[in-house]
Amino acid sequence: MQDAAHDPLPVLETPGLVTRAVALCSIIAAVLLLGVHVARLAQSHGGVSWWMLPLWLTGMLVADFLSGIVHWGADTWGSEAMPVLGKRLLRPFRVHHINPDDFLTRHWIDTNGDVGTIVSAVLAATFLIPLDSFSGQACVTFIIALAATTLPTNQVHQWAHMTSPPAFVHALQRWGVLMSHAHHAEHHAPPYVSNYCIALGWCNRALVRVQFFSRLERFVTRLTGAVPRADEAR
C-alpha cells in the first residue's frame, strides 16, 4: 500500500519530443489506414452490405474483450523491470492504480500513441488479405471494426476518469456505448479485480458474472505457479 504520508504519488514521465512525434505519426497512420481499408471495402465487389453489421459488432466486442485481457495481464502478472513491456505497458497501468489522477494530465498524443503503433501494424498487414472473395471481405470488415474500436481504447479510459468529459462523450457514456465514470470506478475500488475491459466496457458485466478473470488467474497459477499481483503494491 502506498504510504501517502511519506512517499509522493508516482507519476508517468512526460515523453520527449521524438517519442511524441512518433506517437502522433502512429495515430495519424492508423486513422488514414482505417480510411483506406473502408474505401477498399466499399469499392470491392458488392461494396458495403447489411451482412457486415453483425461482423462489425463482433469486431467491437472482441476488441473490448482483448482490451480486458491485456489490461488484466498488465495488472496481474510480470514486473515493471521486464524489457519493453515493463516500461510501456505494465508501468503505466501500475502508476495509474496508485495515482489515477495522473492519467488526466497526459496529453492525448501520449495517451493514444502506443495503441496507434500496434493498430497501424495490424492495418498494414491487412493489405495482404485480398478482397475478391466473401471470406476476404468478411475478414477485412472484422479487422476494421476491431482496429477502429481498439485505437481509442486509452482515450475512452481517460474519458471515464473525467468528471466532466466532452458533451458527446458524456452522451455516449449515458447511452451505454462507452463505459461511464461510475462503471470504471468499480475497477479502482476494492478488490480491484473487475471491469478490466476498457475499450467500450460492454463485456464487463458478463465476465464478472462468470468470474472469468478470477478463474483465469487460478488456472494460470496452477499452470505456472505464478502469484497474481506479486509485483504490485496497491
Query: Which residues in this chain contact Zn ion in the complex, by CB under 5 A?
Result: 75
Could you tell me if 104 and 162 are in contact, meaning their C-beta atoms sit under 8 angstroms apart? Answer: yes
CB of 33 to Zn ion, least distance (A): 28
C-beta of 33 vs 95, nearer to Zn ion: 95
Question: Which residue has its beta carbon closest to Zn ion?
Answer: 75
Distance between CA atoms of 164 and 161, rounded to whole angstroms? Answer: 9
C-beta of 141 vs 180, nearer to Zn ion: 180
CB of 185 to Zn ion, least distance (A): 8
C-beta of 109 vs 213, nearer to Zn ion: 213
CB of 8 to Zn ion, least distance (A): 20
CB of 198 to Zn ion, least distance (A): 7
The cell numbers describing 76, all together, are: 496481474
The phi and psi torsions of 25 (rounded to 5 degrees) equal -60, -40
Cα–Cα distances (Å) from 13 to 84, 88, 110, 135, 222, in that order, read: 15, 11, 10, 45, 36
The cell numbers describing 22, all together, are: 512518433
Beta strands in 78-180 (DSSP E): none
C-beta of 191 vs 225, nearer to Zn ion: 191
Residues 6+ apart with CB under 8 A from 4: none
Peptide bond before residue 191 is cis, with ω within 30 degrees of 0: yes
C-beta of 75 vs 217, nearer to Zn ion: 75
End-to-end CA distance of the chain: 5
C-beta of 37 vs 106, nearer to Zn ion: 106
CB of 58 to Zn ion, least distance (A): 25
CB of 93 to Zn ion, least distance (A): 5
Is the backbone of residue 225 left (phi > 0), alpha (psi -120 to 50) or beta?
left
